[in-house]
Structure 1
Amino acid sequence: MNHIESVRKKEPVLVFDGLLFRLRDIELIRADSDWRTEQQFAASHVLMTVSSGQGSLTMDSLDCRLRPDAAIVCPPGQTYGISAEKNDGMKLFLLRFDALRETEHNEEGVRYVKEACLQSLTGELPVYPAGQMAALCESIYSQWHSQDGLERYHSQLAFQEMLYFLLKNSFRQPEDSRTSLELAKAHMEQCYNENLTIEQLARIADISPKYFVDLFKKTYGTSAIDYLTELRINRAKQFMAQSGAKLRDIAHQVGYNDEFYFSRKFKKEVGVTPTVYLKSRRRKIAAYGSAITGQLLALKIIPYAAPLHPKWTAYYYKKYRSDIPVHLSAYRKNQHWESNIETLQLAHPDLVISMDELKEGEKERLDQISSVFYVPETVMGWREHLRLTGEFLGESAEAELWLRSYDRKVKSAREQLQHAVKEDQFLIVRISKQRLYIHCNRSMKEVFYEDLQLAPAYLCDSVYDQPITLEQLAGIDADRLLLMVFQENETLAYWQALQHSIMWQELKAVRNNRVYPIPSHPWREYSAVAHERIVDESLMLLSGNRPK
């Protein structure tokens, strides 16, 4: 993500004069190694800055680094997810605040305020020196949590001082080695097909090779060699989309003299061989729904179009966003279907695959785009969905091969889990807004309880999503809880308070440290790939073993 664009010296007065800033909350997170949050809504502006360590941030579709020499502001209405750098502890401050602009007086002489849109205070802001920003955050955090009301008031003033510090910094950036590092990175992006070495890149950056290696990893979150590999593989994918592309020519074009080495490298990075990937590029198959994406990927078909979003389809977005040329909206559950239809009309897919439970008007418009294959959603299970899709696409053998592999994985995981959890009973709890629900959807019922044969603490023959009180939850007395927390401010605030309640702390699962947070994906998607991931995640959560 680029630094905030430079603006004229007078702009701060023009833009920020008349604005009111109010700090809503400040949160301090100390995170180790693989800590991460799910993608969540920003109901207000969120300023993120680290005083030590590093991490990565996905803000809607933008990826950027969290590091001590930069602060990042996420505007309201966007989503963000954070992860800590592996093997590097991170100290992160999250400051949520409102930006309000005064309006004119009304007839009674009362002046109102309205929410302001701050383009100049959105994105990445440089921090020089980083230590001053860290000290300001520490001071605000201490004052905000003080028992003294006057100190809490002072935290608002300190917050204004911090914003002023950030804004002054955004109009002047000192020259440092990061500028020359950008030159080396740009050279990699332009000359990825050449035989580049660390020594060459370090000379471009005018620093030592060892310092170049360390600084590149620290700045961009990946090694220079891994970044070069990513550039080459992504460019190879673009060449593969062209008709008549030959594997040997593609390997040479992206900097690999040995096509067999290229094939091994490609499979390691992408998960399938270049031959399989080429095959999936020949037909423009659109996945109209994330569950269809999960079925196509099990058949080793990467869709030409699919719903992608860092929150609602996080796994597919992170893993396949550069492989899928046409990105449909994945906002909530098909909420933007009309714009998706328009996108598909412009994309001209050869074939669209969709679940059959669509609104009549939506189905009529979809049928006008291309041939559409509808998978019956409720009358068949996911295995039949996969077989039916495979048969239609001429990939029945691939479907059966995948199912046999899945069954082997389930058998192995079941044996390991039975040893780890013995006869413990499970309950899946969903938290939304300020309500608790005991929850079991089709995926949880068929994979978690049936395939893995884990014992439910709440016996029910069908799927359910029932409101429950904390007292009733204590009455069920489950040995282990799987917990799904909706990622938005009201729910997260309720969950924070819930953890401090005596009744929650006295639950058997809580006392024994057997509460396991789970994300919405893969647990709420009814597809082959999602179910394989449920098996893998269950094994990791409950036994600590990695899937075989």
Structure 2
Amino acid sequence: MNDKNSLPPSKAFGELDQMWFRLRSIMHGRNPGGEWPLRLQFVESYMLLIPIAGQGSITVDGKYCELKAGCVFVCLPGQLIEASMEDTAEQSVYTLRFDVYSQHSISEEQQPTRPAELHLPFPLSGNIAIQSTITYSKLCELISGYMGSPAPLQRLLAQSRFYELLHSLLSSAGQMQPTDTDTAMERAKLYIEQHYREELSISLLAAEAGTSVRHFIRLFKQTYGLSAIEYLTEYRIRQARSLMLPQTNYELKDIAAYVGYKDVPYFRRKFKQITGVAPATFMRNAKLKIAVCHGSLTGALLTLNIIPCAAPADHPWAEYYRRKYETDAVLPLAREDTLWIEQLTLLRPDYILGLETSVSRWMLPQLQAIAPTFLVSPLQTDWRSQLHFIGECVGRAPEAAAWLNNYERKAKSIRVKLGQGPAMGKLLLVRISAQSITVLSTRSLAEVFYDDLHFIPASVVDRKLSNQTITPEELWSSDADKLLFIVDEDAASQAVWSKFRDRASLLPPDPAWFSRIGHLPPYPWTEYNSFTQELALDSALTLWRNRT
């Protein structure tokens, strides 16, 4: 007899019987209190957000999505997220953090055995529609009660109920079919990411997307700016790079086999084609110790796949590296100049990077005595030039060039998609800081929208000014069709933002009006580097979508 609730046949769920799951924690957020809203953070484990009542929003790697009852949102390890629920009496949301493991190991003779690489990917991500919010509410109540019990058997029962919840979630996802082109292509892309180590064909991916081969080839290239096979190659090389970091010690043939290449010479050619350097050169460069004296430079290192050996302790990037690369090798530098110079003297890095504006004349000779020191000009060069400069300084110029080529290709693809819909209209980007409203134009993420994506600046924008401020009335009367706010977290900034939202709420209910307003936190969006610019680029298609 077939269980009507069993998973439908799906290649996306083909490895479920090889996985096991461990619930780390469950938290119930009500208004007010709890851990809500979720502050900007890098997700350390898998996470389920289950709104029971109310609605809100979540930003994942710069992309906006809704949180609402009737859907479960799945977050993946390493994602940069921030979430909040609307301030209503009905707010109720569960947050469950869990791990996913495989039940069998990889062949030790042929493939790396780093624990993180043994974990199979959870087959879902993003918003998943569910059939019954009440069912999930009851399950979460039971799990929460059992998890808090001092009795081991009760805690084991919590894990059992969690499996029941996952079964329901996967069943709901398995019954859903793509309803539009974006969903179908995203499904195919996710399949590539989950099965990149296998032999994949265009016909298989087209079937996964539910389209003909010819239609799939055209749509995938149109959606992502590169073919499915090109995306598979880039994804494989990205995984290979993560196995070439200093704390790993794998042979090239094992790395090639692990990411899906049986022919090592062919893997070498593809690796150099994607990264700009040969694997041996990349592995040699990865062992160099690079210290950064200013946190803003770390975003550029991130795009070059560099883990700094030392970084400012008070900058969030240090925590990002620890979680993403599972390393404690990043030395947190003290705030006091004399102390962190002593730290670097003991560490003896191969290179030191700093900002011209943050390294004094007396400090520079001391740094140069420790290691070759390069200072980036934060005011006279744009982010592309800074990335080029940093790449040349630390022997990563080919990688920097390859990354920028990929960025330009992605920007071109997104421009095409933006041009296919309704007219983009005029755009205004502002930052609210205390009582000041500053127009973002140059040396900010505004360059992505105006220069790379060809949005038209609102009439109030003067791109010749670097620190243009406007009044609330000028903001309100702007001819912008889309607005993007970056709002500081202090009380004064939030008060200005609240007044604008309150005034907007008095307007007649016009979906076009509400869809034109975007909102981002100050970090990391106020940083000016390659990492943040790519985040802005990736968010362009979804930033104003479905905003209410």
Q: TM-score, normalised by structure 2?
A: 0.52
Residue in 2 that maps onto 1:87: 128
Displacement, 1:350?
A: 1.1
Rounded to whole Å, the distance in 1 between the matches of 2:461 and 2:348 is 48
What letter matches 1:303 in structure 2? I
1:217-258 superposed Cα distances (whole Å, 9 cap, x missing partner): 99xxxxxx98xx9xxx99996885369752346799x99997
Return closer, same or farther for 1:526/1:216 CA change in 2, 3 Å cut-off: same
Rounded to whole Å, the distance in 2 between the matches of 1:91 and 1:440 is 46
Residue in 2 that maps onto 1:79: none
Residue in 1 that maps onto 2:4: none
What letter matches 2:156 in structure 1? S
Query: Would you say the 8 A contact 2:414–2:541 is kept in 1?
Result: yes
Query: Would you say the 8 A contact 1:54–1:85 is kept in 2?
Result: yes
What letter matches 2:423 in structure 1? K
Residue in 2 that maps onto 1:117: none
Return closer, same or farther for 1:500/1:418 CA change in 2, 3 Å cut-off: same
Within the candidate set 247, 251, 263, 1:246 is matched to 251
Query: Would you say the 8 A contact 2:322–2:330 is kept in 1?
Result: no
Residue in 1 that maps onto 2:289: 284
Displacement, 1:462?
A: 3.4
Q: Equivalent residue of 1:391, what SS?
A: helix
1:19-55 superposed Cα distances (whole Å, 9 cap, x missing partner): xxxx97687976899942589xxxxxxxxxx999677
* Matched ranges for 1:31-180 at <5 A: 35-36=57-58, 86-87=127-128, 131=141, 175-177=154-156
Residue in 2 that maps onto 1:371: 372
Query: Would you say the 8 A contact 1:240–1:250 is kept in 2?
Result: no
Aligned residues: 398
Query: Would you say the 8 A contact 1:441–1:524 is kept in 2?
Result: no
Return closer, same or farther for 1:214/1:314 CA change in 2, 3 Å cut-off: farther
Residue in 2 that maps onto 1:455: 456
Please tell me whether residue 479 in structure 1 is matched to residue 481 in structure 2.
yes
Residue in 2 that maps onto 1:325: 329
Q: Equivalent residue of 1:177, what SS?
A: helix
Residue in 2 that maps onto 1:356: 356
Higher relative contact order (CA 8 A, sep 6+): 2
Residue in 1 that maps onto 2:520: 518
* Matched ranges for 1:469-508 at <5 A: 469-487=471-489, 491-492=493-494, 495-496=497-498, 498-501=500-503, 505=507
Rounded to whole Å, the distance in 1 between the matches of 2:129 and 2:246 is 39
Q: Equivalent residue of 1:440, what SS?
A: coil
Q: Equivalent residue of 1:353, what SS?
A: strand
Rounded to whole Å, the distance in 2 between the matches of 1:244 and 1:321 is 14
Residue in 2 that maps onto 1:400: 401
1:383-421 superposed Cα distances (whole Å, 9 cap, x missing partner): 332333333344444433433333333333334334446
1:273-299 superposed Cα distances (whole Å, 9 cap, x missing partner): 97676244221122333443333444x
Q: Equivalent residue of 1:478, what SS?
A: coil
Within the candidate set 505, 528, 542, 2:530 is matched to 528
Return closer, same or farther for 1:518/1:283 CA change in 2, 3 Å cut-off: same
Return closer, same or farther for 1:407/1:276 CA change in 2, 3 Å cut-off: same
Residue in 2 that maps onto 1:294: 299
Displacement, 1:442?
A: 0.6
Rounded to whole Å, the distance in 2 between the matches of 1:429 and 1:508 is 22
Q: Which runs of 5+ in 2 are unaligned?
A: 1-21, 26-30, 38-50, 62-68, 83-91, 98-124, 172-192, 198-237
Report which stretch shifted further, 365-374 or 315-324. Answer: 315-324
Return closer, same or farther for 1:359/1:491 CA change in 2, 3 Å cut-off: same
Rounded to whole Å, the distance in 1 between the matches of 2:536 and 2:356 is 24
What letter matches 1:358 in structure 2? S
Rounded to whole Å, the distance in 2 between the matches of 1:90 and 1:324 is 43
What letter matches 1:403 in structure 2? L
Return closer, same or farther for 1:38/1:336 CA change in 2, 3 Å cut-off: farther
Rounded to whole Å, the distance in 2 between the matches of 1:494 and 1:291 is 27
Q: Equivalent residue of 2:401, what SS?
A: helix
Return closer, same or farther for 1:533/1:55 CA change in 2, 3 Å cut-off: closer
Displacement, 1:374?
A: 1.6
Return closer, same or farther for 1:507/1:241 CA change in 2, 3 Å cut-off: same
Query: Would you say the 8 A contact 1:424–1:455 is kept in 2?
Result: yes
Return closer, same or farther for 1:271/1:62 CA change in 2, 3 Å cut-off: farther
Displacement, 1:538?
A: 1.9
Query: Would you say the 8 A contact 2:240–2:259 is kept in 1?
Result: no
What letter matches 1:349 in structure 2? P
Residue in 2 that maps onto 1:304: 308
* Matched ranges for 1:379-418 at <5 A: 379-418=380-419
Rounded to whole Å, the distance in 2 between the matches of 1:173 and 1:67 is 26
Displacement, 1:426?
A: 1.1
Displacement, 1:326?
A: 0.6
Query: Would you say the 8 A contact 1:417–1:543 is kept in 2?
Result: no
Return closer, same or farther for 1:276/1:533 CA change in 2, 3 Å cut-off: farther
Q: Percent identity?
A: 23
Rounded to whole Å, the distance in 1 between the matches of 2:95 and 2:462 is 53
Q: TM-score, normalised by structure 1?
A: 0.52
Query: Would you say the 8 A contact 1:32–1:89 is kept in 2?
Result: no
Return closer, same or farther for 1:470/1:382 CA change in 2, 3 Å cut-off: closer
Residue in 2 that maps onto 1:111: none
1:99-120 superposed Cα distances (whole Å, 9 cap, x missing partner): xxxxxxxxxxxxxxxxxxxxxx
Return closer, same or farther for 1:405/1:315 CA change in 2, 3 Å cut-off: farther
Rounded to whole Å, the distance in 1 between the matches of 2:492 and 2:324 is 31
Report which stretch shifted further, 520-529 or 373-382. Answer: 520-529
Return closer, same or farther for 1:290/1:515 CA change in 2, 3 Å cut-off: same
Q: Which runs of 5+ in 1 are unaligned?
A: 5-22, 40-49, 72-83, 93-127, 135-164, 182-206, 219-224
Q: Equivalent residue of 1:501, what SS?
A: helix
Displacement, 1:441?
A: 4.3
Rounded to whole Å, the distance in 2 between the matches of 1:339 and 1:244 is 33
- What is the RMSD of the two structures over their aligned residues, measured on CA atoms? 6.2
Return closer, same or farther for 1:376/1:496 CA change in 2, 3 Å cut-off: closer
1:57-85 superposed Cα distances (whole Å, 9 cap, x missing partner): 99xx999xx995989xxxxxxxxxxxx97
Rounded to whole Å, the distance in 2 between the matches of 1:543 and 1:69 is 24
Query: Would you say the 8 A contact 1:51–1:130 is kept in 2?
Result: no
Return closer, same or farther for 1:131/1:527 CA change in 2, 3 Å cut-off: closer
What letter matches 2:354 in structure 1? S
Report which stretch shifted further, 385-394 or 477-486. Answer: 385-394
Rounded to whole Å, the distance in 2 between the matches of 1:411 and 1:62 is 26
